Amino acid sequence: MLTLGIETSCDETAAAVVRRDDASGGEVVSNVVLSQVDQHAAFGGVVPEIAARAHVEALDRVIAAALTDASVTLGDIDCVGATAGPGLIGGLLVGLTTAKALCWAADTPLYAINHLEGHALTPRLTDSVAFPYLLLLMSGGHTQLVSVEGLGDYRLLGGTIDDAVGEAFDKTAKLLGLGYPGGPAVENLARDGNATRFDLPRPLKGRAGADFSFAGLKTAVRLAAEGQAPLSTQTTADLAASFQRAAIDCLVDRTGNALNMPGQPAHTALVAAGGVAANQAVRARLADIAKQHGLPFVVPPARLCGDNAAMIAWAAAEHFADDGGAGTPDALAAPALARWPLDARARPASTA
């Protein structure tokens, strides 16, 4: 079966075609991502109105390119998946409305997909990981530890009580004058820095639970930078390295707590997903903790860590196969949701 995926939740306009086969698993047939980085760089972050307008201008061409790259037509597509949330509401409306129009015209089933579910299921596309597994989702908008126990069965073990780790990377980069996007810039500069020069806090480290906090770490970086102003090239690198090490220490500590929580199923793997999972230093430390717990460490290729439509297509393909190809009758009425927790039972992140 072939699935078309559409992703417009933030600042990437993306479309992809994915093939799913019960015997051989999944294959990304095409994956087109049009970045809006240049349009937002001057502002140091994503401007929602600019993002939505850019999606309107580009999405039809991106979809056409994905179909062409896959050597298929819309008539060859068995179902369409589109991100319905969470994300920037303007962008979500562009992608979801376009998908509805395509499905109505072609009489094709539509699946309104949770963006976080796309990340959660990506390792099943890339590595055929079996349920249940522990997912550490790290992006600019989300930092969560989720027990992925089955299709549609996601149990939140911990989330951030303030800022996401990806946002902390971006804000640190902006503070240090590294530009946007900030994550890769901090990672690159940190390689030349002394990660022990600045004694930065590790919020919640050593405490029970699997929640995260990064606001205090961001503030500490700002105060350290102000204390060293004007910043030399080496001091900037040292701050980047010290920040990255502190952030990773937090990620590893909270992940360890989640792995040791009582009542957990026998997880088959530790999985990292989201844009921050492309960071090589983050990957190395998480691989170590997975090894300590006797688990394989799985992380998708870098091109599938950030926002992309292949993961949305795959999530739709999983649901299509699960319901026997019957489709979702009310999908054409599905709303776009700025907030949409992956775990329907999700509790607010605890400060205890």
Residue that terminates a domain, selected from 299, 315, 343? 299
- In this structure, the answer to whether residues 147 and 290 fall within a common structural domain is yes
Is residue 169 a part of any domain in this protein?
yes
Contact indicator for 335, 39 with CB cutoff of 8 Å: no
pLDDT at 138: 95
Same-domain check for residues 91 and 160: no
pTM, two decimals, is: 0.91
Inter-residue contact 15 to 66 (CB < 8 Å): yes
- 291 and 145 in a common domain: yes
Q: For residue 347, is it within any domain?
A: no
- Residues 263 and 215 placed together within one structural domain of the fold: yes
Residues 82, 39 share a domain: yes
- Do 155 and 239 lie in a common domain? yes
Pick the last residue of a domain from 254, 276, 299.
Answer: 299
Q: How many residues does the chain have?
A: 352
> CA-to-CA distance for 120 and 194, rounded, in angstroms?
34
List the chain pLDDT tens, one digit each, 352 residues.
999 999 999 888 999 999 998 877 899 999 999 887 677 666 766 777 888 898 999 999 999 999 999 999 999 999 999 999 999 999 999 999 999 999 999 999 999 999 999 999 999 999 999 999 999 999 888 899 999 999 999 999 999 999 999 999 999 999 999 987 789 999 999 999 999 999 999 999 999 999 999 999 999 999 999 999 999 999 999 999 999 999 999 999 999 999 999 988 999 999 999 989 999 999 999 999 999 999 999 999 989 998 999 999 999 999 999 988 887 767 899 999 999 999 977 544 433 2
| Residue from 242, 240, 246 nearest 187 by CA | 240
Cβ neighbours of 190 (radius 10 Å): 21
Q: What is the pLDDT of residue 349?
A: 42
Asked if residue 273 and residue 169 are part of one domain, the reply reads yes
User: Does 341 map to a domain?
Assistant: no
pLDDT at 347: 46
**CA separation for the pair 240, 224 (Å, rounded):** 11
CB 145 within 8 A of CB 210: yes
Instruction: Domain of residue 96: give its range.
Output: 2-123+303-333
- The reply to whether 22 and 164 lie within a common domain is no
Co-location of 21 and 82 in the same domain: yes
Residue 119 maps to a domain? yes
Calculate the CA dihedral of residues 142, 266, 301, 172 and round it to 10 degrees: 30
**What is the crossing angle of helices 233-259 and 165-175, to 10°?**
170
In a domain, 346, yes or no: no
CATH number at residue 268: 3.30.420.40
Say what the pLDDT of residue 139 is. 87
Q: Does residue 184 form part of some domain?
A: yes
- Please, are residues 208 and 257 in contact by the beta-carbon 8 Å criterion? yes
- Taking alpha carbons only, the member of 265, 249, 156, 172 closest to residue 211 is 156
Give the DSSP letter of residue 131: S
Dist. CA 329–CA 350, nearest whole Å: 37
Are residues 214 and 281 part of one domain? Answer: yes
Does any domain span residue 178? yes
Q: For the chain, how many structural domains are there in total?
A: 2
Distance (Å, rounded) from C-alpha 56 to C-alpha 88?
A: 14
Q: Are residues 315 and 295 in the same domain?
A: no
Residue closest to 280 by CA, chosen among 216, 198, 188, 199: 188
Q: Would residue 291 count as lying in a domain?
A: yes
315 class by beta-carbon count within 10 Å (0-12 exposed, 13-18 middle, 19+ buried): buried
Question: Are both 141 and 279 inside the same structural domain?
Answer: yes
